[in-house]
Structure formats: structure tokens, C-alpha cells
Chain A
Amino acid sequence: MSVLELSRWQFGITTVYHFIFVPLTLSLSYLVAGMQTAWLIRKDDVYLRMTKFFGKIFLINFAVGVVTGIVQEFQFGMNWSDYSRFVGNVFGAPLAMEALLTFFLESTFIGLWIFGWNKLSPRVHLATIWLTAIGTSLSAFFILAANSWMQHPVGYRVDPVTHRVVLTDIWAVLTNSTLLAAWPHVLFAAFMVAGAVLVAASAWHLARESHLGVFRRAMKLGLVVTLVAGIGAAVTGDVQARLMDSQQPMKMASAEALYNTSDAASFSLITVGSLNGSKELWSVRVPYLLSLIATLNPHGTVQGINNVERAYDKKYGPGSYKPVIPVTYWSFRLMAGFGSLAALLAAIGLWMTRARRIPRSRWFYRAALWGLPLPYLAIAMGWIFTEMGRQPWTVFGLLTTARSVSPGVAASSVIISLAVYTLLYAGLAAIAGWLTVRHVKKGAPAETAGTAEPRPVFQY
């Protein structure tokens, strides 16, 4: 494999892996903050037990998210140095802002939250978890600003001498329409993960009738969060689809493997075709749906891959501007499919737990546990779709992936780093997963009142 291919695998693996942990950090931070707020307002011990129980899951997850995030920032320079040279003027700004404005916020206040239980007043201590949560969302904003600029570059000009991009308008970068749609989409998707985690942990205990007080509430909260977030993710994803249709028509066409421009285009739920996706043997189709998604009009025109390719040949010079169609086609469907299934399960769960019911069906608890991977998979598929769908570009229309890779780095070096990251990350995932499961099984027991002196709730 070439340095380019190895570097792409490495970036893909490390990014998807990093983003296994980020969504729970983004969302569970707010839910834990909410639980702690409820405890302070209602003085109900159950909320404190919830805070501590889910707080610990949050911390195990947060640690892995933090350490894998360091690699992300360094990787641009290490593996994609020509990309960094080309985009640094624009792309570096949101990255530096993310570090200064948000990484400091979340990492400083999470330390205060973990160790400050008996050192800060209850209100100030509560503020630390809220600030952590706000820090994580703002962090997502800045990194998505950087990513959205790659999808839809704005606020720049190309310097005629250096042939590199130069920032001309930071507000354009920070109010990029692509960003304003992507940020809520990512946040909603993230909340689906937190919802699924609450539901799965609660199901384990409700099925055994242990710690009912805590987990009945957590189950309800998890189901509501999953369903609301699922609807939110669908609505924002729909907004993204229309932006994509106008900004990256090739990606839209690739999502459906639509080869020729069509009016009233249908959307296939499932297709059996040739491996490169160019020939269709059998499919299940919903008429008009693709046109509706892309243009809000059942008879709207959706450009086909071949038509866009011809236009790009003229605009950017001869070459291939198609992503890997089977990957974009399936990742798009799996994203929407896994996400919808998770929301559907949550809706069924809400019905079964209505009016404080505790379902007796084993299938309910099995579905709740097996439903846990669904939002994770949907998110991974979403990133694979949007990043693979942008290929062959790293910066749409400006810089190709092939021209982004580090010129001075040997393939042997990338093989070493790919091996190190893959093994290290696999080990981390195994340990973090094992610790989380172990913690969940212990449950959230009530605390004996009035024991000796106050103790910190968490400590290393």
C-alpha cells in the first residue's frame, strides 16, 4: 500500500474510533448536569445516585475521548502536511480556537467537578459540570467549523503566489451554512447515544428488579432522549441533504447511486447490483423520495453521477471525481436505517413503560440491550458517508486527497503508526468497555446516611 492509502486508513480508523467516545461525552455531560440539578432542586437522593452512577460512565468514556483527541490534532501535521500547508491559514484558526476556548474549559472544569464535591459550594460545583458540558458542545462547534469548511469552503481566497488558501472572513467560516446544519445534527445524534446508554444500563437492572428507583427514572429519561434526539437528527439531516444537493451534488447522487440526472427521482431502500454499483439487478424503491429529500419537490431534478462528472471534468480538468459508490450508497442507508431503528425502539419502549409500568417481557430488555450499538453504528456510518462522499477531495473543489499527504513521511513510518494506533485503541476499547460493564452491573446503590465525615465522591 502507498503512503496515501496507509494514511487514509489511519485517519479513517483513528477518527471513527475517536468518535465512538465523543458523542457520549457531548450528550451525557448535559444529562449528568441535569440529574445533579434535579438533585439540588428536589433534594431527592435518587437523583444523586443517578448523577454518580452515570457520572462514572461519563468519566471512563471522557478519558478515552480526550486521549484519542490529541492524535487528531497532531495527525494533520504528521500525515497530511501538504494539506496543512495549503489550508493552515483558514483551517488552523478554528482548531486553535477550539483548544483555547473549549479544551481548557472542559478539561479544567471536569477536574473541578471530579474532585470538587466537598471543596466547592453545591451551586458552584453544579456550575462546573454545566461548564464542562457547554465546553464539549462548543468544541464540537469549532471542529465542525473546520470540517464544514472542507465540505463547503467559504471566507477564503487562493493566494496567486503561494497557491495556498488565505482567510478573508472568519465570520463566514463560523457561520457556514454547512456548519449550522451539521452542528445540531451531530448533537442530536450524540444524544441518541446517551439515550441508548441510559436505556441499556437501566434495562439490565430493571430486568433483575434491582435499584428500581434509579433505573425506572433513567429508563424513562433514556427513552425520551433517544426518541426526541432521533427526530431531531432526522430533521437536521433532512436540512443537510438539501445543502448537500446544492453544495456537493456528487455526494447527493452517490448517496443514491443515481447515475443519470432524473426528475421525480425515487429512493431505493435496498438494492442488489454489481459490485461497483453501476448495474442494478433488484431493488425496493420509494417513488419521488430522493427528489423530495434533495429539493423538497417530488418532481425536482436530482443530478446524476455521470452528469456531475462531465461538469467537473470541464471545471477542474479531466479526471475522476466519483467517490466509491457502494460505500456512499450503503453507508447512507445504514446511517438512516440504524438511526430510525433506534428511534422506533425508543417509541415502542415509551409505550410499554407508560404510566410507570415496568414491562415483564424478556424481549423488551433484550431489545434495549441490543439496541445500544444502533446509534453508535449510525454515527460511524454518517461520518464514513460524509467523508468518503467528499472524495477525491479533502477540501471540496480546491485540494485532492492525493495532494494532501505528507511528502517526506516513509510508508514504513505510517505502517508503524497505523499498527500502534490500531493495537493501542483496541486495547483501550476493550478495557474501557469492560470497566463500564463492570460498573453498570454494580448498579447505583443507596448511600448510608450520616457516615463519618464527608468524602470526595470521586478520587483516583
Chain B
Amino acid sequence: MNLATFWFILIAILWSGYFVLEGFDFGVGILLPFLGRDDTERRVMINTIGPVWDGNEVWLLTAGGAMFAAFPLWYASLFSGFYLALLLILAALIVRGVCFEFRSKVDSPRWRAGWDRAIFAGSALPALLWGVAFANIVRGVPLNAEHVYTGNLLTLLNWYGLLGGLVTLSLFTLHGAIFLGLRTDGELRQRAQRATVRIALAAVSLAAVFLAVTQFSYGKPATDVTAAVAAVTLIGGAAAAARGREGWAFAGTAVTLVLAVATLFGDLYPNVLPSSTNAAYSLTVNNASSAHYTLVVMSWVAIIFTPIVLGYQAWTYWVFRKRLTRSDIVPPQAPSVTGPDAVEPVGGRP
């Protein structure tokens, strides 16, 4: 295996990590208006992802940075080509990112309702568009001889791309519902469990159709295996969720997401961005990669630091492993009418 292939695999791992981790963040955001009956419940939901969402999003930045360093031509063609789609994703991530911080700072129903809508939209839009983007990468896009994208936003909105979008949207929502079942208790947990079963039906059928079409059109024997196992783990995860085995269910959807990414990247290889204009214009692992020395340097950096990052991120999940309930939520402080010297309860100002 040459270094460029090693980096192709590493980038696939980074995207898998991103989808597994931010996938449930997105799911929680999408489910916020449906599962949270009042402000306290919605705050329980937000606080399940509160300590980790920012670290989860860094997987995206690292995937982007790794593509820039290891495959500059891939990064350049993909990001400039998918310009408006990425703009939508970025705008959604910007709004969503400040939502969590800003929402909690003012205790007014109108203020919070506005941010709740923004969290929903900011989670649903990227959840849909990442699927559209990756389906199109596998399908191939119009690239000219200079590897420059010659399509527009509508080029990406073909039926296969949209199907891919619905798959990620439903998978992330399912993943988030299972996560909520795992991290909350009481009524909210029961509601999350009921939602899980309903979403699972949609997610399993959409993912099955998408994987079948993908393997039929772009598949290889090796990825037939990963696609089949992905389908099995998804069904297994859904079944575990139906029986209230949340830990197994979460493992199931997490493995499904990893295997789905593995399938798409496996189908792609040795291309990184196929050209639908002319196969000779495709960007490949070899013609898009950085020179040997850059890859060597970056390999050492990745080999040394990735385990450290995984270690402290895993520790974070361990620290915040306890289920959250309504009683964990600090009640909003009484409106301060007594002026700046008013005494407030310990740890107030939620």
C-alpha cells in the first residue's frame, strides 16, 4: 500500500468519525421540536450533546484539513465545485453552532423558540446535504481536463444524490433518537424509544435501496460485503432499539455509518472524484495527492496524535456518561428586578 492510499483510508476514517459523532448531534437537533415537550425537556436534549458537539465538529475540520494536505487537487476541485452546497452547509453549521450558546442566555419563550427552529434547520440541512454530496462524489461529476467542475448546484440534485441525502438524513435522525434513549431517562427516554422504531423503518428501507443501487452501479466484491454488513448492523441496531437495548442499538447505527462510508470510499477507489465528462479527467488517489515528503510528515503527525485525540475524546464521553433528566436542569433564575446587587442562586444563569 502506498502512502497516498494510506491517506485515502485515513480520510475515510475521519469522515466516518465525523458522521458517527456529529451524526447523533444532528439527530438530536432534528428531533428537538418533536420530542421535547417543554423548555426543560428541550434543554435536557441539548445538554446531552452540550459537552461534546464542538469536539465532534472538529472531525469535519480535520477531514477537510487532511484532504487539503494530502490531496490538494481533490480538496480544490471538490470544494470549489460544490460551492453553493457547501455554502448552505457552512451557513447551517454557523447558525447551529451559536444556537446552543445563545439560546441559554435569555430566558424568554420567544427567544428560545426562535433558536429551537434554528437548531432544527441547522441540523437537518447539513444532514441532508452531506448525503447529497457523497452520493455525487461516488456517482461522478462533470470535470474538465483541468479537473475543474463545470456543473452547478442543480447538477448535484439528481435523484441518486437526493436519495443519498434522504439516507443520511434518516440515518442521523435514527442515530440521534437512539443516542437520546441512551442518554436520557423517564418520559423523554420512552418517547425517544418510540420514535426510534418509527424512524428505523424509514432509515432501513431508504438505506437498503441506496446501498443496492450503489452496489449495482458502482460496486465491487469487497464493498458488496461492507454494504451487506452495513445493512445487517442497521437492522440489528433497529431490532435492539425495539427491545430497549440502547447500547447495542447505538453500536449498530455507529457501525452502519462507518461501513456505509467504507462502502462509498471503497467504490470510489482508486478515484477520489470521478469525472462524468471523460474518465481520463478523473481525480485519482495518485494524480491528486501531495508529494511523498508531505505525506510522510503528515503520516507521522497522524500516527502520533490521533491516538491521543481519541483518548481524551473517549474520556469526555466517559465523564458525561450519566443519563440526564429534568432534575439535572438548573431552573431559570428569577427575573432580576433588584438591580446589579441581586443575589442569585448558586450556578444560576442557565
Q: Is the CB of B329 within 8 A of A459?
A: yes
Q: Is the CB of A99 within 8 A of B50?
A: no
When distances are taken between beta carbons in the complex, the residues of chain B under 8 Å from A353 are: none
When distances are taken between beta carbons in the complex, the residues of chain A under 8 Å from B302 are: 100
| 9-residue interface stretch from B178-186, B190-198, B244-252, B288-296 | B288-296
Known interface pairs A76-B68, A119-B320, A406-B80; A70-B90 also in contact (CB < 8 Å): yes
When distances are taken between beta carbons in the complex, the residues of chain A under 8 Å from B210 are: none
Per the CB 8 Å criterion, the residue count for chain A at the interface is: 91
Q: Is the CB of B313 within 8 A of A448?
A: no
When distances are taken between beta carbons in the complex, the residues of chain B under 8 Å from A111 are: 50-55, 316
Rounded to whole angstroms, the CA-CA distance of A458 and B348 in the bound complex is: 8
Instruction: Return the CB mask of B97-110 against A: 1 if under 8 Å, else 0.
Output: 11011111110000
Q: Does B38 contact A (CB under 8 A)?
A: no
Q: Is the CB of B97 within 8 A of A409?
A: no
Q: Does A81 contact B (CB under 8 A)?
A: yes
- Which partner residue on chain B sits nearest A410 by CB separation? B152
Rounded to whole angstroms, the CA-CA distance of A168 and B100 in the bound complex is: 43
Q: Is the CB of A88 within 8 A of B72?
A: yes
Rounded to whole angstroms, the CA-CA distance of A68 and B94 in the bound complex is: 7
- Which partner residue on chain A sits nearest B71 by CB separation? A88
Q: Does B212 contact A (CB under 8 A)?
A: no
Q: Is the CB of B87 within 8 A of A409?
A: no
Q: Does A6 contact B (CB under 8 A)?
A: no
| 9-residue interface stretch from B226-234, B261-269, B334-342 | B334-342
Instruction: Return the CB mask of A68-95 against B: 1 if under 8 Å, else 0.
Output: 1011011011110110110111111101
- Which partner residue on chain A sits nearest B104 by CB separation? A460
Q: Is the CB of A84 within 8 A of B68?
A: yes
Q: Does B6 contact A (CB under 8 A)?
A: no
Q: Is the CB of B80 within 8 A of A78?
A: yes
Q: Is the CB of A435 within 8 A of B102?
A: yes
Among B105, B290, B344, point to the contact of A60 (Cβ < 8 A): B105
When distances are taken between beta carbons in the complex, the residues of chain B under 8 Å from A60 are: 101-102, 105
When distances are taken between beta carbons in the complex, the residues of chain B under 8 Å from A100 are: 62, 65-66, 301-302, 305-306, 309
Shortest Cβ gap from B328 to chain A (Å): 8
Q: Does A103 contact B (CB under 8 A)?
A: yes
Shortest Cβ gap from A63 to chain B (Å): 4
- Which partner residue on chain A sits nearest B297 by CB separation? A170
**Chain B 254-301 interface residues, beta-carbon cutoff 8 Å to A:** 290-291, 293-294, 297-298, 301
Rounded to whole angstroms, the CA-CA distance of A71 and B69 in the bound complex is: 17
- Which partner residue on chain B sits nearest A420 by CB separation? B91
Q: Is the CB of A93 within 8 A of B297?
A: yes
Known interface pairs A111-B54, A167-B293, A408-B81; A424-B309 also in contact (CB < 8 Å): no
Apart from the given pairs A67-B98, A115-B320, 12 other A-B contacts in the complex at a CB distance below 8 Å: A60-B101, A70-B94, A87-B72, A89-B294, A95-B69, A96-B70, A99-B58, A108-B316, A120-B319, A168-B293, A417-B87, A459-B47
- Please give me the 9 A-B residue pairs with the lowest Cβ-Cβ distance, nearest first: A88-B72, A77-B79, A92-B69, A96-B65, A455-B347, A92-B68, A81-B80, A81-B76, A67-B97
CB within 8 Å of A: which residues of B? Answer: 43, 46-47, 50-55, 57-58, 60-62, 64-66, 68-73, 75-81, 83-84, 86-87, 90-91, 93-95, 97-98, 100-106, 146, 148-150, 152, 290-291, 293-294, 297-298, 301-302, 305-306, 309, 312-313, 316, 319-320, 329-330, 336, 339-347, 349-350
11 inter-chain pairs at a CB distance below 8 angstroms, sorted by A residue, are A73-B64, A78-B83, A78-B87, A92-B290, A100-B306, A100-B309, A105-B312, A107-B58, A167-B291, A210-B340, A459-B47
